[in-house]
Amino acid sequence: MHKKGTPWPPEETEAIRSEVHEEKKTLQEIATRESVTRERIRQKVGNTGRRTTWKNEALALEHRAMILELVNKGYTDDEVAGMTNLSISTVRDHRYRAGIKRRHRHSVESSIRYAQLWFKEYGFSPGAADWTASRAIKQGHLERAQRLEEFKQKYDKPPSSTTVQRLFGSHAKLLRQAGLPPVPQGQKAHGRFKIEKG
């Protein structure tokens, strides 16, 4: 018990700080034991930061609940990010922590949306190799593989050529349903492989 009107020895102050920060005792518990006010203990210990921590933890739990609900309904990471106003990295982090691996089971609707996003981002319709890195690399178009990786980081993984074939029958039919122009012949002449440096 601390004697009223006497200064706190430095070692006692450090011991109390240890109780608060390491043993997670409350200021009121220590104040009651020492027969002083809670405010007196707070002045000696300083700001514990607990209120901010608890607030952040509660917000993180709220975000995780929203994210996992949407992920379990089949929405992609970028769709969840748009619906929750959170970043894709935040969505992925919560999904990874929950042990959920993304299954890229694209639907007709999501495939069309990715084609339209691609056109909006790059100004041209995606060809089959634009969405299949191995095919682009095999054809010697490393820029296309790089562009695909950039797109995945910003939006998420678009459907593979196998998925497009299963859903639409061909890549050309996907583009038609998406209302996009066909992939032109003589692609190099259209500068499709060149990545502009900002």
The reply to whether 82 and 22 lie within a common domain is no
Average pLDDT for 24-41: 81
**pLDDT at residue 71 in the model:** 80
Question: Based on the domain organization, do 79 and 130 belong to the same domain?
Answer: no
Asked if residue 198 is part of any domain, the answer here is no
Model confidence at 73, in pLDDT bands (50, 70, 90)?
A: confident
Is 102 domain-assigned?
A: no
In tens, the pLDDT along 90-112 reads: 888 888 888 877 655 688 888 99
In this prediction, residue 60 carries a pLDDT of: 80
- For residues 112 and 67, membership in a common domain is answered with no
User: Does a structural domain hold residue 3?
Assistant: no
Confidence of residue 188 (pLDDT cuts 50, 70, 90): very low
pLDDT at 190 over 60: no
95 and 61 in contact (C-beta within 8 Å)?
A: no
Answer yes or no: do 54 and 40 share one domain.
no
Secondary structure element (H or E) that encloses residue 189, with its range:
none
Note the pLDDT tens digit of each residue in 102-159.
Answer: 655 688 888 999 999 999 999 999 988 898 888 888 888 889 889 999 998 888 888 8
Same domain, 113 and 157: yes
In-domain check, residue 70: yes
- Residue 7 predicted with pLDDT over 70: no
| Number of structural domains the chain divides into | 3
Q: Can you give the pTM of this predicted structure?
A: 0.47
Quote the pLDDT of residue 69. Answer: 87
For the cut 80, the answer to whether the pLDDT of residue 58 exceeds it is no
Is 197 inside a domain boundary? Answer: no
132 and 151 assigned to the same domain: yes
Does 28 score more than 90 pLDDT? no
Is 5 a member of any domain?
no
My answer on whether 55 and 41 are in the same domain is: no
Q: Are residues 119 and 185 in the same domain?
A: yes
Looking at every residue in the chain, the average pLDDT score rounds to: 78
For residue 27, the enclosing domain spans 10-45
Q: What is the 3-state secondary structure (H, E, C) of 59-120?
A: HHHHHHHHHHHHHHCCCCHHHHHHHHCCCHHHHHHHHHHCCCCCCCCCCHHHHHHHHHHHHH
Same structural domain, 126 and 147: yes
- And the tokens for 194? 């060149």
**pLDDT attached to residue 120:** 93
Is the pLDDT at 163 greater than 70? The verdict is yes
Residues 79 and 122 in one domain: no
